[in-house]
Amino acid sequence: MTQLFNATSMLVRTGLAAAALVTATANASAQGVFLQQQNSIVAIQMESATPPTGWARSTATAGYTGDAYFEWTGSNNFFNGGIGTFGFDFEISTSGTHRVNIYNRHEDPDPTEANDTWIRMDGGPWKKAFSNMPSSVGNWTWETRISPGGGQLTFTLTPGLHRVEFSGRSNGFKMDRVHIYPASVGGTSVNTPESPQRFGTSYCTTVANSTGVVSTLEAIGSPVATRNDVTLHGLSLPQSSVGYFAVARTQFFFPNPGGSTGNVCLGANIGRYLGNVLSADAAGEVSMALDLTAIPQPTGSQGTLAGETWNFQFWHRDVTPTGGTTSNFSRGLEVSFQ
């Protein structure tokens, strides 16, 4: 690892100015992809999105979960969906019929009034989702029905990525969270934690390692800085290769530092997780939980605030085609915190 450490120190000392020499390509939406939990539920708090025009983020009505809920404050829009649209990307491993339940509330004394929203899945047709039992008036409820028909709101989904979207319909309708889960399991507990997200943007051209592929990074947890819930994962690494994560506020492109096979994708003032030297497991993966209150920097650790962006890379030992010793780098991962 001496070559690894010395090459990093050399790069830090050069004080290279940040430059836009890398082209970012998104591997997830800026908001992130919500992941199915072990109980097969995808649980999403509405306030994990930024409310578009017409929706208000509110805490005025008690009984919600999480930090807030969304209320449609725009005009009634009974004929066409697509006004005030927001949504969430999610990933599942199960196939078949999935229920969608919205934890919602409406206040009109008539349970059939001001009681609905528009919803669609994967860019399909907009559907009216509503609650209309007398007990739903003035109460938070999981009741979620579909019009026409009045039955349970369900979609047939295949394993992989999907997107659920909402748009405004009835003024005053409130939504706190949405759960998506196989019809064969129960999924309407307000105690279910919000699903973890995979987030961040992969960037920078790097070199395939000795496995024949380029190693990559992903961040799992929550992009909300105050939650301090982020785990970095390194993927497609050579089995048992030793290395550590590095971090910087800026991006750069610096090929073959210190004789390395790979390329540095971090700009000036690189922080190194030298106290967390990791060895890739049999699947070629490493993991490390971040402490967002103490991101390492050359002048000392720094905390992370909403609106800040950090860039990460994994530097690891590798071998050349002839069996010689070298080092290599993963692609960079840009993470913007909320």
Q: Between 159 and 322, name the one with better pLDDT.
A: 159
Q: Of 291, 146, 186, 176, which is closest to residue 230 (Cα–Cα)? A: 291
- Architecture in CATH for domain 2-27+200-336: Sandwich (2.60)
Q: Provide the pLDDT confidence category of residue 21 given band limits of 50, 70 and 90.
A: very low
pLDDT at residue 327, as a whole number: 96
**Alpha carbon distance 64, 75 (integer Å):** 23
Does pLDDT of 181 surpass 50?
yes
Which pTM value belongs to this model? 0.84
Instruction: Please state, in angstroms and rounded to a whole number, the distance separating the CA atoms of residues 264 and 257.
Output: 7
Average pLDDT of 23-45?
74
Q: Pick the residue with more confidence: 30 or 5?
A: 30
CATH topology of domain 37-190: Jelly Rolls (2.60.120)
Burial tier of 148 (Cβ tally within 10 Å: 0-12, 13-18, 19+)? exposed
d(CA 93, CA 84): 30
Distance between CA 101 and CA 178 in Å, rounded? 6
The residue-averaged pLDDT of 41-54 equals: 97
Q: Where are the domains of the chain?
A: 2-27+200-336, 37-190
**pLDDT digits 0-9 by tens, 56-70:** 999 999 999 999 999
Percent of residues, the chain, with pLDDT higher than 70: 91
Q: 10 Å Cβ neighbour count for 284?
A: 18
